[in-house]
């Protein structure tokens, strides 16, 4: 890629790969120690890679959703703030965040004023949810687990609904010579 871009007088920089041998070449690939203003604002640590805004662990090739921890929310804006700080553009964290959204919906429907503390029952529910929520959820970035021929790919979709919510899940089944991978 670097050679092709150099031919067009473009310089490729600040890129990463999950394959160490691609990053060990003669061309400098990324400024690992360089911390831009944007990365500082997004909370990216030095030597940390991001993929679609998610933490990317290159060695394991996983994308992660991070759940912020901190002071326990006791008001409607506090709950909203906590829920809004969970960034997961692919919906990876929905099975975990849906409980918090249901609690917020119940608080909203109770017509509680904006900055008033939650009722004892709601505060207990929120505290239990906060304590049981993990700090990080990691999923494989790639669908095909091996770098080899893919014999077939099939998608399996499921959906369900209740009076509290609607959900859907799509699973991929990838057949390769080494094995069959099933991922959501």
From first to last of its 184 residues, the chain has per-residue pLDDT tens of 778 888 888 887 777 788 777 776 554 444 445 567 766 766 667 667 888 888 888 888 899 998 988 888 889 999 999 999 999 988 888 888 999 999 999 999 999 999 999 999 999 999 999 999 888 999 888 878 788 899 999 999 999 999 888 888 888 999 999 888 877 6
My answer on whether 6 and 67 are in the same domain is: no
My answer on whether 10 and 22 are in the same domain is: yes
Residue 146 belongs to some domain of the structure: no
| For the chain, counts of helices (H) and of strands (E) | 6, 7
Q: How many independent structural domains does the chain possess?
A: 3
Q: Strands, E, within the chain: which ranges?
A: 49-51, 54-57, 62-66, 136-140, 152-161, 166-175, 180-183
Please state, in angstroms and rounded to a whole number, the distance separating the CA atoms of residues 41 and 44. 8
My answer on whether 87 and 111 are in the same domain is: yes
My answer on whether 130 and 57 are in the same domain is: yes
DSSP conformation class of 44: P
Residue 124 belongs to some domain of the structure: yes
My answer on whether 40 and 61 are in the same domain is: no
Tokens 């609904």: give the residue: 161
My answer on whether 75 and 121 are in the same domain is: yes
φ/ψ of residue 183, rounded to 5: -130, 155
My answer on whether 44 and 66 are in the same domain is: no
My answer on whether 22 and 56 are in the same domain is: no
Residue 147 belongs to some domain of the structure: no
Residue 105 belongs to some domain of the structure: yes
My answer on whether 6 and 72 are in the same domain is: no
Tens digits of residue pLDDT in 117-151 = 999 999 999 999 999 988 899 988 887 878 889 99
Residue 99 belongs to some domain of the structure: yes
Residue 144 belongs to some domain of the structure: no
My answer on whether 55 and 129 are in the same domain is: yes
My answer on whether 76 and 60 are in the same domain is: yes
User: Is 139 strand, coil or helix?
Assistant: strand
Residue 125 belongs to some domain of the structure: yes
Global pTM value: 0.72
Its domain, for residue 90, covers 50-138
My answer on whether 24 and 55 are in the same domain is: no
Residue 72 belongs to some domain of the structure: yes
């Amino acid at each position: 890629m670097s050679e092709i871009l150099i031919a067009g007088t473009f310089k490729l920089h600040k890129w990463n790969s999950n394959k160490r041998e691609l990053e060990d070449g003669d061309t400098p690939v990324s400024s690992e120690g360089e911390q831009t203003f944007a990365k500082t604002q997004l909370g990216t640590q030095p030597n940390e890679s991001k993929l679609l805004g998610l933490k990317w662990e290159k060695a394991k090739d996983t994308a992660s959703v991070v759940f912020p921890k901190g002071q326990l929310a006791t008001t409607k804006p506090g709950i909203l703030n906590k829920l809004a700080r969970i960034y997961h553009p692919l919906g990876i964290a929905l099975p975990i965040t849906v409980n918090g959204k249901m609690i917020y919906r119940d608080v909203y429907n109770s017509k509680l004023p904006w900055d008033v503390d939650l009722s004892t029952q709601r505060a207990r529910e929120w505290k239990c949810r906060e304590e049981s929520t993990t700090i990080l959820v990691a999923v494989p970035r790639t669908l095909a687990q091996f770098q080899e021929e893919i014999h077939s790919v099939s998608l399996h979709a499921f959906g369900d609904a209740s009076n509290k919510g609607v959900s859907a899940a799509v699973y991929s089944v990838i057949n390769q010579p080494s094995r069959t991978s099933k991922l959501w």
